[in-house]
Chain A
Amino acid sequence: MAVISYIEAVTQALDEEMSRDQNVFVMGEDVGKRGGVFQATKGLYEKYGENRVIDTPLAESAIAGVGIGAAMYGMRPVAEMQFSDFMLPAANQIISEAAKTRYRSNNEWTVPITIRAPFGGGVHGGLYHSQSMEAIFANVPGLKIVIPSTPYDVKGLLKASIRDNDPVIFFEHKRAYRLIKGEVPEDDYVLPLGKADIKREGRDVTVITYGLMVHDVLQAAEKLEKEGISVHLLDLRTVYPLDKDAIIEAARKTGKVLLMTEDNKEGSVISEVAAIIAENCLFDLDAPIRRLAAPDVPAMPYAHPLEQAFMVKPEQVEKEIRDLAEF
């Protein structure tokens, strides 16, 4: 099995879906000739031409809104938002339109669009090239929000998102693009949306997270294993709607839960995970739920020490797990 990077898995999934289904096309800023500012659509313009890899005007609401219209016609657009931070001009199209069209039309009209957006920090991106935007869309029924952590998950989940008959926001961690590599089958496979995945079996402490942080936990878990602390890791993969059964099962498994996100803490996706556990697992818990997240300041600053101060660091992950284990 070939080992490829996270971003190569994005490109492969797009390529395979475009070749499988004539209705799939890509649209966004710089996705064509340039192959995307991160090169996620590299080679697709040459292979499929300007009609299926469309460089659009710089206007996010149109990218989403025109994509929605095309989806209503029966196409399967994959719209790229260059950075998730730039999605907000399109928020009305995503929240008021894409998410509600099936519901408001009583199941007559549907919007099978996939909106891809790189998110996450640690790349010297400053306030507006580093944010996690998932919480803004994570109380909008009608949307699905997918955040993969590995190249294998990227390919299977992106293909599933494109084939899904409802709108999906697909957040890709930009620091994972070239940092994370993994084995990816060359054949056609899809992974289920709405299902979390156990990335590591363990006995002592349960960690629930998503995106690049999955790898921080895996590294910490290796280290802690030597100290005799066994970490159970659940990767949410779909952060909306949440896989409640998997969350409850994972929390019950060890009775000690650490929740992690790169996003600002208050009102984040893991706040909802904490509520699910609180509602369902009170008598299964042996320690209070802990949350490790970014501070509640607007976004991460550009200067290196300030960026580092904002981000969750590996030693914090270790410490939190150790504290819980010893609780």
Chain B
Amino acid sequence: MIRESSSTTQVKNRHRELGLSDQDVLNMYTQMLKARRVDERLWLLNRAGKIPFVVSCQGQEAAQVGAAFALNQKKDYVAPYYRDFGFVFAWGMTVKELMLNNFAKAEDPNSGGRQMPGHFGYRKLRMLSHSSPVTTQNPHAVGIALAAKLKGDDVVSFVTFGEGSSNQGDFHEAANFASVFKLPVIFLCENNHYAISVSLKRQLACAHVSDRATGYGMPGKTFDGNDPLAAYAAVKEAADRAHRGEGPTLLEADGYRLMPHTSDDNDLSYRTKKEVEDAKKRDGVLTFADYLRAIGILDEVTEEKLEEQIRKEIDEATDYAEHAPFATADTVFRYVYEDKD
């Protein structure tokens, strides 16, 4: 890996003009790094036979974290999809909670172990529950925005999905509905260039997912998915539009899925090692660290401290989740309908 050293490069401060402090961007990086390290740990746990399944976020952390920082974490409603580790951490989910989710334990706030990992949903954080048939969450996010508008609440509704998902009818129906009613929705497509094995050119005939925005009468914008500041700027602008009553925006983070689709996938059956290695050179976790070093926010001491703190948090969370109880078998009958007793 070739990286430029901070001492030899003059790097422009890009975050100050966005209204972000040095601490803000360091916090962003912390969340990105945390998501990456958690993801790496999950693969180890899976290969060690401790958890049955991993669905990975690697390569998409930058866009996820940048987006979360641009929203109002006290008020806005969010519908993150199954790769959004970076987003959910930045939104307030703890590593312990995500580990409980991956170990499918009773205390998992997302579903108490009922759903597969990564199927987020956390009422306390105004994070909608979502399923596995993709893009079903898009109309829900529109419904949230509609309800908020009917009630006169100044709330933005944010939803993410993949580029393959952007072919689903629900994507189209939700985008059209949101735009017709000028609802405060931000649609963020995390384009990682693969819908499992099928690459972008077999998914879209247009150049960008964001090109589709024109058809819905809303603005569309593609940004570098490896750059959290680009994500922040784009989502912030979309949120501002939403607050002004100007309606929805379709955003697209142009990124790459660094890992196989899931722990059950063999990605080298449909892409080359070289392609993945090339993408790793653009990896947002590395390039953002470079930026922070170049600008003098991240040094070796801070980095080491950060890694140590994250490792400790993951160790503790893993230990806790591994030993936490599963929901008891009799609970399988609960919550089909409202419990009226």
Contacts and interface: CB of A to CB of B under 8 A. Distances in A.
A66 B337 contact: no
A85 interface: no
Given A96-B131, A102-B338, A141-B336, A69 B147 contact: yes
Contact of A165 (B114, B144, B157, B338): B338
A51 interface: yes
A108 B108 CA distance: 12
B146 A66 contact: yes
B1 interface: no
A248 to B, nearest CB: 21
Given A65-B136, A65-B174, A72-B128, A102 B144 contact: no
A97 B136 CA distance: 8
Contact of B169 (A51, A61, A68): A61
B139 A72 contact: no
Interface string B119-138: 10111000011010100101
A62 B177 contact: yes
Contacts of A89: 169
Contact of B144 (A51, A57, A64, A72): A72
B144 A70 contact: yes
A103 interface: yes
B20 interface: no
A323 B336 CA distance: 41
Contacts of B145: 69
Contact of B77 (A73, A97, A165): A73
Interface string A76-98: 01000000000001001100110
A65 B336 contact: no
Interface string B150-185: 110000010000000000011001101100100000
A109 B121 CA distance: 8
B337 A142 contact: yes
B129 A108 contact: yes
B245 to A, nearest CB: 14
Interface string B43-74: 00000000000000000000000000000000
Contacts of A67: 143
B334 interface: yes
A141 B110 CA distance: 20
B133 A106 contact: no
B170 A65 contact: yes
A56 B177 contact: yes
B142 interface: yes
B112 interface: yes
Interface in B92-119: 109-112, 114-115, 119
**Range of interface residues on chain B?**
35 or more
Interface in A134-154: 141-142, 144
Nearest to B340: A165
Interface string B261-302: 000000000000000000000000000000000000000000
A70 B336 contact: no
Contacts of A92: 133, 136, 170
A166 B336 CA distance: 9
B338 A110 contact: yes
Q: Which of A102, A103, A105, A141 has the most CB of B within 10 A?
A: A105
Highest count of chain A CB atoms <10 Å: which of B77, B115, B170, B339: B170
A71 interface: yes
Contact of A103 (B114, B138, B140, B143): B114
A176 to B, nearest CB: 28
A94 to B, nearest CB: 11
Contacts of A164: 338
Interface string A23-59: 0010000000000000000000000000110001101
A275 B103 CA distance: 39
Q: Which of A59, A65, A92, A107 has the most CB of B within 10 A?
A: A65
B335 A106 contact: yes
B148 interface: yes
B141 interface: yes
Given A61-B139, A106-B111, A69 B176 contact: no
A185 interface: no
A254 interface: no
A252 interface: no
Contact of A104 (B129, B174, B180, B338): B129
A238 B123 CA distance: 31
Contacts of A62: 139, 142, 170, 173-174, 176-177
A101 interface: yes
Given A103-B335, A104-B119, A107-B339, A57 B177 contact: yes
29 contacts: A51-B150, A52-B150, A57-B173, A57-B180, A61-B169, A62-B142, A62-B170, A65-B174, A68-B140, A69-B145, A69-B146, A70-B144, A73-B143, A73-B144, A74-B147, A75-B147, A89-B169, A92-B133, A92-B170, A93-B136, A93-B139, A102-B335, A105-B129, A106-B112, A107-B334, A109-B123, A109-B129, A142-B336, A142-B337
Given A68-B143, A75-B151, A106-B335, 11 more contacts: A61-B173, A64-B139, A65-B138, A66-B146, A70-B143, A73-B77, A96-B136, A103-B114, A104-B111, A104-B131, A109-B129
Interface of B: 77, 109-112, 114-115, 119, 121-123, 128-129, 131, 133, 136, 138-148, 150-151, 157, 169-170, 173-174, 176-177, 180, 334-339
Closest 5 pairs between A and B when the two form their complex, measured CB to CB: A69-B143, A65-B139, A73-B147, A69-B140, A106-B112
